Structure 1
Amino acid sequence: MTAPSARQPASSGAASKPASPGRPKDLAKGAAILDAAKRMFLQHGYERMSMDQIAAEAGVSKLTVYSHYGDKQTLFLEAVKAHCDQQLPLTLFEPSPGTPLRERLMEIAEAFHAMISSPEAVAGHRLMCTPQIADSALPILFWEAGPKRIKDGFAALLQRRIKAGELEIGDVHRAAVQFFSLLKGEFHDRLVMGCGGDITGTVEEHLNASVDMFLRAYERRAPAAKARAS
């Protein structure tokens, strides 16, 4: 059984071929395969990696890799999800009425910035921009497995805070995109391009300023404050 090319047409959803059913999977082996896949995809690229090489790196058989993940494309996307879930767990977007809004936004901002600034994330971003990958179905699937899941989770959090009377937002999904774009800023651009240079302020200052700007745009003002502003 050969691994499919990245140019194989995408199906609707992340996985084009789910792992076959059968006896319960060995969780330790599944984790070892994911760890090996994350390392090797980033070091060698998607096209140059085979399921045989990943199996050897993980210390399992190729049959075990296919049994857990079905095909190379599915394994790649699961590696993306695992990285995002580890660095920015979706629990940060769950209801937490006792946590002040700004505090929760800062928690998300710090986790998100740490995630996109990691060497693995920077290498993955560059990988998606290579000609071989850019002309394939993988960038869309990568987007759905990582960035879109995060944006949708954050949008759901915003909806709950709107219902709680803390925010006023007309287009929630646009606001979610704006939030993460603010957080990336110049720091992320320089990391991806591999150029140093002077950047105004520290990461902490950048994140605080980004959260404050977001709140100035969307935080619900008290009626008295609105009257004074007008």
Structure 2
Amino acid sequence: MTPRQKPALGRPKDPEKRQAILQAAAELFPSKGFAGVSMMEIAERAKVSKLTLYSHFTDKEDLFTQAVIDCCEQQLPASSFQPAPGLDIEQALGAIGIGFLELALDEKAISLHRMIVRQSGMDTGNAELYFKVGPARMLAEMRHFLEHAGRSGALDIPKPDLAAEHFFCLLKGLIYMRVLMGLCPPPDRAAREAHVREVVALFIAAYRPGSGRAQ
């Protein structure tokens, strides 16, 4: 060991245990609500000690935050907004669109959204936290993607923040509300892909350079 190196303190964190805790949180928070779940209950569901749980997460708010981020990253990782070189704008938007629908219509995400709406009238704090680390974070990533598309000349987008909202709202359409309310099951893969293609075509038509439609 060189003089500059310091010995590691404690045992390295186990990523499998961390994922087990996040999975337990993703199951318990939607069904019982933030206030209705204790850290001990989450530890028991994850089959870890309370000491192990607190070695990964400082408190329940930190765990809730990371559970929301993990849910988003599983279906629509941040790398989705940084497409591979050579991928055209239609393919890049299509990949983001499919990932977004997979996330929005995921059973865990739907359950979490229902819980947030159900409890928002009693406590807006958790709703604000959920929006900040979920939807707002995703909108920021999309805005950066569209800003880059504008600089490259692929699209002409004067207001990328507003365009990002439009893109995700078009993707959700009314089907998301129906699924959220339990009126129908999520559409299958073929239907999702067809919907994404329609949205992407509409979006590109609106923001194609020289279209005269971008505001």
TM-score computed with the length of structure 1 as normaliser? 0.81
Structure 2: 5+ residue runs without aligned partners?
1-8
Q: Which residues of 2 match residues 128-143 of structure 1 at below 5 A?
A: 128-131=116-119, 135-143=123-131
**How far off its partner does 1:23 sit?**
5.1
Please state if 1:62 is matched with 2:72.
no
**How many percent identity over aligned positions?**
36
**How far off its partner does 1:151 sit?**
1.1
Partners of 2:200 and 2:128 in 1: how far apart?
Answer: 28
Which residue of 2 is the match for residue 212 of structure 1?
Answer: 201
- Secondary structure at 2:51 match in 1: helix
- Structure 1 segments (4+ residues) deviating >4 Å: none
Structure 1: 5+ residue runs without aligned partners?
1-20
Q: Output one character per residue of 1:58-109: Cα deviation in whole Å (capped at 9) or x when no partner.
A: 1111122122111111101100000100110111111533001001101111
**How far off its partner does 1:45 sit?**
2.1
- Secondary structure at 2:85 match in 1: coil
- Secondary structure at 2:36 match in 1: coil
Which residue of 2 is the match for residue 81 of structure 1?
Answer: 69
- Secondary structure at 2:110 match in 1: helix
Which residue of 1 is the match for residue 4 of structure 2?
Answer: none
Pairwise CA RMSD: 2.2
Partners of 1:65 and 1:207 in 2: how far apart?
Answer: 39
CA contact (8 A) 1:133 1:139 kept: no
Q: Which residues of 2 match residues 1-230 of structure 1 at below 5 A?
A: 24-131=12-119, 135-196=123-184, 202-221=191-210
Partners of 1:154 and 1:132 in 2: how far apart?
Answer: 26
**Stretch moving more, 206-215 or 179-188:** 206-215
- Secondary structure at 2:174 match in 1: helix
Q: Output one character per residue of 1:175-223: Cα deviation in whole Å (capped at 9) or x when no partner.
A: 00110000000110100111139x9x933332222111111111213xx
Aligned length, in residue pairs? 201
**Stretch moving more, 78-87 or 211-220:** 211-220
Partners of 1:79 and 1:194 in 2: how far apart?
Answer: 23
**How far off its partner does 1:133 sit?**
6.4
**How far off its partner does 1:134 sit?**
5.3
Of structures 1 and 2, the one with the larger relative CO (CA 8 A, separation 6+) is 1
TM-score computed with the length of structure 2 as normaliser? 0.86
